[in-house]
Amino acid sequence: MKFVSTRIITADVEKAVAFYEMVTETSAIWGNELFAEIPTPVGTLAVGSDKTVALFGPGSAEPAANRTAIIEFLVDDVDAEYERLRGNIGEVVTEPTTMPWGNRALLFRDPDGNLINLFTPVTDEARVKYGL
């Protein structure tokens, strides 16, 4: 089995895609007006319209209702990313903070309220874990 992507369901695909393009500095690949993908070296962040939910099963997903998953991106310098993004992101949950497990992390919410974690391994153990 190979993990390929995480898909976010949203009522405003254009807004969500623009947000993730800004955060990742990566252009989306659009399948159509209801679906786009943000490719990264290790997986893809897919953004789908709530209009596609019926294809999976009515009521199977609901936009802006997530409070369990965190979308995480490994970055070279979380403090520099915070400075770059701070005027363009809404709710900051945690400013850059060094966590007990050795990552320096910034947590904020996307336009639908999904939690985003940008992190940089800062201890030797954490760097080894991520091959840095």
Q: How far apart are CA 95 and CA 78, in angstroms?
A: 10
Q: How far apart are CA 60 and CA 92, in angstroms?
A: 29
Predicted model pTM: 0.93
pLDDT exceeds 90 at position 124: yes
Which tokens belong to 121?
Answer: 């391994």
Percent of all residues in the chain with a pLDDT value above 90, rounded to a whole number: 92
Which tokens belong to 21?
Answer: 């393009």
Alpha helical stretches, state H, the chain: 13-24, 53-56, 78-85, 124-129
For the stretch 40-50, pLDDT in tens is: 999 999 999 99
At 90 the pLDDT is 86
Query: What average pLDDT score do residues 79-92 get?
Result: 95
In order of start, what are the domains of the chain with their CATH numbers?
1-53 (3.30.720.120), 67-132 (3.10.180.10)
At 59 the pLDDT is 87
Query: What average pLDDT score do residues 99-105 get?
Result: 97
